[in-house]
Chains A and B, each alone.
With several copies, the nearest count.
Chain A
Amino acid sequence: MKSAVVIFPGSSGENDVFHILNNVLDERVDLVWHKTTNLDDYDLVILPGGSSYGDYIRPGAIARYSPIMKAVEAFAKEGKYILGIGNGWQMLLEMNLLPGAVLKNANLKFICSDTFLKLENNKTLFTNGFKVDEIIRMPIASGFGNYFCDEPTLQELLTNQQIVLRYCTDDGRLTPEANYNGATANIAGIINKEGNILGMMPHPERCSEDILGGTDGLRIFTSIINKLKGVNI
Chain B
Amino acid sequence: MFIGNIYITLKEGVLDPAGKAANNKLRDLGFTNINNIKMGKFIEVELEAESKEEAIRQLEAISEQLLANLVIENYRVEVVEGDK
Contact = CB atoms under 8 A, between A and B. Distances in A.
Direct contact of A and B (CB under 8 A): yes
Contacts of A105: 17
Given A53-B25, A57-B22, A62-B25, A101 B69 contact: yes
Interface string B11-33: 00111011001100100110000
B49 interface: no
A104 B69 CA distance: 14
Interface of B: 13-15, 17-18, 21-22, 25, 28-29, 39, 66-67, 69, 71-72
The 7 closest A-B pairs by CB, nearest first: A56-B18, A56-B21, A101-B71, A101-B72, A106-B17, A62-B25, A101-B69
A148 interface: yes
Contacts of B25: 53, 62, 65
A61 interface: yes
Given A56-B22, A65-B29, A103-B72, A148 B17 contact: no
Contacts, number: 55
Interface string A176-206: 0000001000000000000000000000000
A100 interface: yes
A104 B66 contact: no
Nearest to A67: B28
A105 B17 CA distance: 8
* A interface bracket (residues with beta carbon within 8 Å of B): 20 to 34
Interface of A: 53-54, 56-58, 61-62, 65, 93-94, 96, 99-101, 103-108, 146, 148, 150, 182
A57 B17 contact: no
Contacts of A58: 69
Given A62-B66, A148-B15, A53 B72 contact: no
Interface hub of B22, B28, B39, B69 (most chain A Cβ within 10 A): B69
A103 B66 contact: no
A54 B21 contact: yes
16 contacts: A53-B21, A54-B18, A54-B21, A56-B21, A57-B21, A62-B22, A65-B28, A93-B71, A99-B71, A100-B71, A104-B17, A104-B18, A108-B18, A146-B15, A146-B17, A148-B14
A63 to B, nearest CB: 10
Contacts of A53: 21, 25
Contacts of A56: 17-18, 21-22
Nearest to B43: A57
Nearest to A103: B15
Nearest to A61: B66
